[in-house]
Structure 1
Amino acid sequence: MNVNKNSQVRDIYDAVADPTRRKILEMLADVEELPLYEITEHFQMGRTAVSKHLTILKEANLVVTRKVGRETRYRLHAAPLKEIQDWVSFYEDFWKKRMIKLNQLLEEINMKPDVSLDFQFTNSVEQVWNALTDSAMLAKWIWNNDFKAEVGHKFQFRAEPSEWWDGIVDCEVLTIDEPNSISYTWASAGETTTVVWTVAKTDDGKVNLRLDQSGFSEETKAREGAIEGAKYAWTEMGSNLAKVLA
């Protein structure tokens, strides 16, 4: 019985897309080999239909055959399935990282934010949302940046450096609920926090923009003036935003 690595003529994803063919693979995984008539016994279809499914699996190099007299016996050849395993593993790792970050965000949301500020504007929700998510607009009231409104996008805010700070804030977009809220990490000077912006209409027709920043270390919170300094900085940015939107 020979397995030719160059004999695969059918895409393995197509081959395993059908539930009947997946069941055949599961059956063959439990035994050394099976003849066609024994495989057919497990399905409500004739030998011809089952044979067609086996042909597709053989074309994808997922089963191999050998002749025993007039009988053809089928055996699993699992090596090509590693391609699917690698593909699934990649996305499993991707979503695992996303879930870890989401859990961190939910934990921070459930806690009282370290910094909370509200800003009100007479502009439309769309105008305020644009100021939060357009890179050029953000540069006018926060700092220069390479922001993109895409979950998972990593970007930086770049301020004028000083003798005690390099002026760089590393960020990653965590969630987007247009035009209601957006959140991203805010990492600078060894401190990583989460910033959440929430946009909502008020009863008097204005737009309320709420900032919540969470995740400051206990050491930072214990340092005199640290949280107040953060509030002052965001208040200044809020004033800049009001001028931009005016």
Structure 2
Amino acid sequence: MRGHLFKLRANPNPHWNGVTDCEVLAVVPEKLLSYTWNSSGDEAGRLITVVTFTLTPTNQGTHLRMEQSGFRSDNEQNYQGAQYGWQKFLAELDRVVAGL
């Protein structure tokens, strides 16, 4: 699975075409998923970051940790956009899981 290429698609805007090119870096079933995040478009400035999801069993269920690393100091707009987007995504994920 390492090296597998895939694309994530979202709604485009004037600064971003909505396409994120990704490459799997690591997979440990039921424990870890890590992949590159390469947003296309003018505002992305060829910024490539790494997204990692880690699952850890707890007495109450499973703890999910999500981290996106690799932002440069000149990419504050990208960092703020990612922070906003991941908060929305994880809140929705929490809502979906709560409904199971």
Fold match (TM-score > 0.5):
yes
Give the one of 18, 25, 28 matched to 1:167. Answer: 18
The 1-side partners of 2:35 and 2:80 are apart by 21
2:61 aligned residue: 206
The 2-side partners of 1:244 and 1:202 are apart by 20
Is 1:177 matched with 2:28? yes
The 2-side partners of 1:172 and 1:226 are apart by 19
Between the aligned residues of both structures, percent identity stands at: 38
TM-score, with length taken from structure 1: 0.36
Give the one of 202, 215, 228 matched to 2:80. Answer: 228
Greater percentage in helix: 1
1:158 aligned residue: 9
Q: Runs ≥4 in structure 1, deviation > 3 angstroms?
A: none
Query: What runs of 5+ residues in structure 2 fail to find an aligned partner?
Result: none
Question: Cα RMSD over matched residues?
Answer: 1.5
The alignment covers a number of residue pairs equal to 93
TM-score, with length taken from structure 2: 0.82
Larger-gyration structure (1/2): 1
Query: What runs of 5+ residues in structure 1 fail to find an aligned partner?
Result: 1-149
The 2-side partners of 1:182 and 1:164 are apart by 28
Please report how far the alpha carbon of residue 206 of structure 1 lies from its aligned counterpart in structure 2 after TM superposition: 2.6
The 1-side partners of 2:19 and 2:64 are apart by 24
Please report how far the alpha carbon of residue 234 of structure 1 lies from its aligned counterpart in structure 2 after TM superposition: 0.4
One-letter identity of the residue aligned with 1:213: Q
